[in-house]
Structure 1
């Protein structure tokens, strides 16, 4: 069973979260990739994708996620059958834009036919819980066995 973890980061926190999630996924074949280096043609509906995405600026995707989502906008691939989960990173100090990066990512994948599974995690940098600790707990709530059935 294969799982692809893609991270989009500005300061490196999303990468650390992606690595923490991968460490929890014993029994699965897991790859971790920077969205800035991931080719949109590699989005494979036979695999489960976990998107770890921070929020930057005025509620935008981080610089590290822009190449992938610009390619999705340009090529508009049919992602029917693609199953994914999202772990978003944000700061509730920014009330109107809290966790928008993860929400933008989920909306773009869904608009192209993807299906989001599990709870959309929204880490709050203003809270006391470390993002890696939250991610380690969250990954165990994902419906991975059903998502990967037949993969």
Structure 2
């Protein structure tokens, strides 16, 4: 059984819905998983694996509730010592270069913190998928098998 902390950045609630579906899956599989509502830096280090699920806002920006946490991680720079991580990015490809910008920034930071990406960043395009959880759940199952 793994302890997995999930961090969410959402604008309209899609990332939260996906995270709730992922949480249910992880708990059903017997893992100790939680959504970190008010994220703290120590929640990245006091678990076996971390999962970020974020939409993108503005010009490729991280949603406000996750942006401060991102800045804290960047400032405090807690080394993850090869801790497994995953990032699911929700976006809209019609925005061009800023598509899934928040997820890309999070993925890059977690690599800089020396985390271990056990699967590549998952980008879910709202132009192609109306139910992002149907793409995210199979990806999480594969991610979990590699953790």
TM-score, scaled to structure 1:
0.87
Q: Decide whether aligned partners of structure 1 residues 45 and 81 sit closer, same or farther in structure 2, where only a CA change above 3 A counts.
A: farther
Match of 1:28 in 2: 31
Instruction: Give the direction of change, closer, same or farther, for the CA distance of 1:141–1:86 in structure 2 (3 Å limit).
Output: same
The residue aligned with 1:104 is: 105
Q: Offset at 1:119?
A: 3.2
Offset of 1:47 from its aligned partner? 1.0
**Residues 10 and 64 in structure 1, CA contact (< 8 A), matched pair in contact too:** no
2:5/2:43 contact within 8 Å kept: no
Q: Measure the CA separation in 1 of the matches of 2:106 and 2:71.
A: 11
- Say what the alpha-carbon RMSD is for the aligned residues: 1.6
1:81 is displaced (CA, Å) by 2.5
CA distance in 2: counterparts of 1:32 and 1:114, whole angstroms: 19
- Give the whole-Å Cα distance in 2 for the aligned partners of 1:146 and 1:140: 9
Tell me if the contact between 1:45 and 1:81 (Cα under 8 Å) persists in the aligned partners.
no
SS of the equivalent of 1:88 reads: strand
Give the corresponding residue for 1:118.
119
Measured against aligned partners, the alpha-carbon deviations of 1:101-141 in whole angstroms (never above 9, x if no partner) come to 10100101111211111132111111134112211222112
CA contact (8 A) 2:5 2:47 kept: no
Structure 1 portions without partners, runs of 5+: none
Give 1:45 shift.
Answer: 6.3
Count residues in correspondence: 144
- Measured after TM superposition, the shift of residue 8 of structure 1 is 1.1
Q: For 2:11, what is the secondary structure of its paired residue? A: coil
Deviation at 1:92, TM superposition (A): 0.5
Normalised to the residue count of structure 2, the TM-score between the two structures is: 0.90
Gaps of 5+ in 2: none
More helix by share: 2
Whether the 8 Å CA contact 1:45–1:80 is kept in 2: the answer is no
